[in-house]
A and B are shown apart, each in its own frame.
Chain A
Amino acid sequence: EDKVVQSPLSLVVHEGDTVTLNCSYEVTNFRSLLWYKQEKKAPTFLFMLTSSGIEKKSGRLSSILDKKELFSILNITATQTGDSAIYLCAVDGPSGTYKYIFGTGTRLKVLA
């Protein structure tokens, strides 16, 4: 059965800390992995990863994919209270089905 597992489930840090969020997957015919940030409403797109070892960066956020070990990490450096959110990982599922399989998310709280 295809699945996506995120860890930790929740995390509390102080402003300025660096955090690493994990996403592991078991999906047939993997095509891409996506990271989203969800604050109060709709998830918003952060990164899409398709190739192993190539880091994607956006400001203080970065992400990398390991297709051999079947996982991805999302790093956030110098965290701010505005980073408090649920971070979702999704994997593009079996070819031809157009299904995205989401993990349960990591809830990050950044304290001032």
Chain B
Amino acid sequence: NAGVTQTPKFQVLKTGQSMTLQCAQDMNHNSMYWYRQDPGMGLRLIYYSASEGTTDKGEVPNGYNVSRLNKREFSLRLESAAPSQTSVYFCASSPRTGADTQYFGPGTRLTVL
């Protein structure tokens, strides 16, 4: 049982490049989330998916897009990376929507030069 997995673990991009962060969970959870974590800012929600087929904006969605490919997978895309998107990105999932524990992936450390 792998839980929540993320790829890649590390990535360096140049300004303007695009990339997709992948996330998958094998716990049959309905809800999935993407967060970014910056020093002194805590975890901030980028996008979430309450259930398969739905996605909604979180606190800081600008510059990102997401796809809930199926129940297991939730990807985050940066179309044109900017230095302000340098951060650690965490994917999480929870069994139900709301009032439930979230399980986090190991994170992706992204640097945009």
In this assembly, does B72 line the interface, its C-beta being within 8 Å of a C-beta of chain A?
Answer: no
Partner pick for B48 among A32, A98, A102, CB 8 A cutoff: A98
Instruction: Mark interface residues in A55-80 (1 if CB within 8 Å of B CB, else 0).
Output: 00000000000000000000000000
Chain A residue nearest in CB terms to B48: A98
Query: Contact between B45 and A104 (Cβ–Cβ < 8 Å)?
Result: no
B residues contacting A by CB (< 8 A) are: 4, 31, 33, 35, 40-45, 48, 50, 56, 58-59, 90, 97-107
Classify chain A: how many residues form its interface, as a range.
20 to 34
Interface of chain A residues 25 through 63 with chain B (CB within 8 A)? 31-32, 34, 41-45, 48, 50
Chain B residue nearest in CB terms to A94: B98
Query: Contact between B99 and A102 (Cβ–Cβ < 8 Å)?
Result: no
Partner pick for A102 among B4, B44, B56, CB 8 A cutoff: B44
Chain A min CB distance to B39 (Å): 9
B35 contacts across to A, CB distance below 8 A: 102
**Cα-based distance from A98 to B107 in the complex (angstroms):** 21
In this assembly, does A108 line the interface, its C-beta being within 8 Å of a C-beta of chain B?
Answer: no
Partner pick for B42 among A50, A88, A98, CB 8 A cutoff: A88
A96 contacts across to B, CB distance below 8 A: 98
Chain B min CB distance to A83 (Å): 19
B42 contacts across to A, CB distance below 8 A: 4, 88, 102-105
In this assembly, does A99 line the interface, its C-beta being within 8 Å of a C-beta of chain B?
Answer: yes
